[in-house]
Amino acid sequence: MHICRLIRDGFNDGFYNMAVDEAVADAVEKGASPSTLRLYGWKSPTLSIGYSQRTDKKIDTGYCRKNKIDIVLRPTGGRAVLHDKEVTYSLASPKNNPLFPDNISGTYKAISVAMTKGLSFLDIDANISTLRTPHSELRTSSCFATTSQYEITVNGKKLIGSAQRRFKNSFLQHGSIPLENHHDKLALCLGFKKGHKSKKFVKLLKEKSIALNELNERVYSYNEVVDALMRGFEGVLKIQFKISPLTEYELKLAKKLYERKITSP
C-alpha cells in the first residue's frame, strides 16, 4: 500500500490557498516532499483565473474590488472559477508515481475515478465524461460552461472543474467541487452587465453545470464531502493517508508567494 501525505486544511483566503498549492508543488518537484493531497475551503468569495488567461478584457476588476471578491492567479491553466461555498482538492505528485500514468489524460482519469468513488459514498451517481465540449461552445471564460475529457458530470452536467499542470518531474492537479452555484455573481465578475447577455450566460451555466446541494434534495456539509473524497482516494488508489503539516521549506515559500500575490496589481 502506498503512503500519501494528506493536508486537511480549513478555510483561507484565495492568496493563501494558491500560495500553498504552489509551494507544495514546488517541493514535490524538487523531491523535498512526497505526493500530497490537500483539501481546503475558501474564507471569502474569490475569482481564480488560469495562469495564461488575460484579465484585461474578460474580468470586471472594478466589480470584484467593489464587492470584495479577490482575484487570484492559479498555477494551472483553464478558465475562470468563482470559489465560494465549495470543497477544493489539490494533488501534487512526482510523474514517476506508479499510481498514475505518465500523461495528462491518464492522470485525469485516475483522479476522476477516485473522486467518483468518493461521491458514491454521498449517494451521488456521478459519471466521467469521455467527450470534449465541441469547439463551437468554447466562447466563454467560465470553467463550468464547458466539460473536458475525464471530468466529472451528473446527469450530463459538470460537477467538478479541474485543471492540471505538468512540470519536469511532477504534476499538480486541483479542482473545484461547488456545494452551491453563484452564476449571477460570476456573470458580473466576468463583465456581463445585467441584461440579455447576462441572462443568456447564466442560462448556459445552469444548462452545463450543477452543484452538490442541487442533488438528492439535501444539503451536503464541507466535512462530509471531504471525508467521502478521502475514502474514494484510499479505496481506488489503494493508498494510506498520513496527515502531515507543511514543511519548513513549504511554509517559507508559501509566505513569500503570499506576500507577492497580495501586493500584485
pLDDT number for residue 147: 67
Mean pLDDT by 10 residues, the chain (265 residues): 93 97 98 98 95 72 95 90 97 96 94 97 94 51 72 94 95 96 93 84 92 96 98 97 97 97 84
Q: How far apart are the C-alpha atoms of 135 and 103, rounded to whole Å?
A: 23
- Helix residue spans in 121-208 (DSSP H): 183-189, 196-208
Q: How far apart are the C-alpha atoms of 71 and 48, rounded to whole Å?
A: 6
Choosing from 4, 64, 143, 189, the catalytic residue is 143
Average pLDDT, the chain: 91
pLDDT number for residue 135: 43
Q: How far apart are the C-alpha atoms of 63 and 47, rounded to whole Å?
A: 12
Q: How far apart are the C-alpha atoms of 131 and 112, rounded to whole Å?
A: 14
Residues pairing with 92 in the sheet: 36, 172
pLDDT in tens, 72-115: 999 998 888 999 999 999 999 999 999 999 999 999 999 999 99
Q: Which CATH superfamily is domain 2-262 in?
A: Bira Bifunctional Protein; Domain 2 (3.30.930.10)
Find the helix packing angle between 248-262 and 14-29, rounded to 10°: 140
Burial class (CB in 10 A: 0-12, 13-18, 19+), 13: middle
Specify whether 143 is catalytic: yes
pLDDT in tens, 2-21: 999 999 999 999 999 999 99
